[in-house]
Chains A and B, each alone.
Chain A
Amino acid sequence: GEDVEQSLFLSVREGDSSVINCTYTDSSSTYLYWYKQEPGAGLQLLTYIFSNMDMKQDQRLTVLLNKKDKHLSLRIADTQTGDSAIYFCAESLTGGGNKLTFGTGTQLKVEL
């Protein structure tokens, strides 16, 4: 099946690190993505990781992939108020064509 799950809410203080977690069930995932959605806006692609990688770092963002446990995480260092948004993980599947399966989304709130 294609279930992608995330916790619904995360609250952090400005300057702290945020870690948003995602679990998926389909082991044939090829790419895994993180998208950011601000209120009333479309989805902004933040970063992605290929399924044969364990980690990817891009400035303040670090993606960790544990393929054995089907667990993906996004760490945001030095979280700022502008990082407040909903974060979706998504997977694309081998043989799944162009279809992305999105997680349920995690609302990140950054407090001063």
Chain B
Amino acid sequence: DAMVIQNPRYQVTQFGKPVTLSCSQTLNHNVMYWYQQKSSQAPKLLFHYYDKDFNNEADTPDNFQSRRPNTSFCFLDIRSPGLGDAAMYLCATSRGGIDMQFFGPGTRLTVL
């Protein structure tokens, strides 16, 4: 089945230690998104790639970076995680334009 896959499902890191979260898709969609969802809150868009074009949200901290080496994979790098970065990180994809987004299962990040 075509899907959006996130690894790992649970990630524990230490305060200030860089961490990378991974997302892959078999849908061959043009657009890949990263959302941050804190407890009891709505998902908040961090950035997205439309093909190779990177689009950062204005209020996304510099601490968050992303890479998309090819159509299938997209990574979220957190350079120096703080306690406030503990959250669920959701990857989503869409074909492009204003089109429905399909979400992965998420990675829950814990910062110690």
Chain A residues within 8 Å of B, Cβ to Cβ? 30-31, 33, 35, 40-45, 48, 88, 92, 94, 96-100, 102-105
A31 touches B108 (CB 8 A): no
Contact between chains at B42 and A45 (CB < 8 Å)? no
The answer on a CB contact under 8 Å between A98 and B100 is no
Given known A-B contacts A31-B98, A42-B90, A43-B90, A100 and B45 have beta carbons under 8 A apart: yes
In Å, the complex CA distance between A33 and B94 comes to 14
- CB within 8 Å of A: which of B53-78? 55, 57
* Residues of chain B contacted by A43 (CB below 8 angstroms): 43, 90, 92, 103
Are A88 and B90 interface neighbours, CB within 8 A? no
CB contact between A48 and one of B4, B40, B43, B100 (< 8 Å): that residue = B100
- Give B contacts to A, CB under 8 Å: 4, 6, 31, 33, 40-43, 45, 48, 50, 55, 57, 90, 92, 94, 96-106, 108
Q: A88-B42, A98-B50 are in contact. Are A45 and B98 (CB under 8 A)?
A: no
Within the assembled complex, what's the spacing in Å between the Cα atoms of A104 and B37?
11
Task: State the Cβ distance, A67 to closest chain B Cβ, in Å.
Answer: 17
A41, A98, A105: which contacts B94 (Cβ < 8 A)?
A98
Pick the residue among B40, B50, B101, B105 that contacts A100 (CB under 8 A).
Answer: B101
Known contacts A43-B90, A45-B100: A99-B106 contact under CB 8 Å: no
Given contacts A41-B106, A42-B105, A45-B101, contact A98 B42 (CB under 8 A): no
The answer to whether residues A31 and B100 also contact, given A42-B105, A97-B55, A98-B94 and a CB cut-off of 8 A, is yes
24 contacts between A and B (CB under 8 A): A42-B4, A42-B90, A42-B106, A44-B103, A45-B101, A45-B102, A88-B43, A92-B98, A96-B98, A97-B55, A98-B31, A98-B33, A98-B50, A98-B94, A98-B96, A98-B97, A98-B99, A98-B101, A99-B45, A99-B57, A100-B101, A102-B42, A104-B42, A105-B41
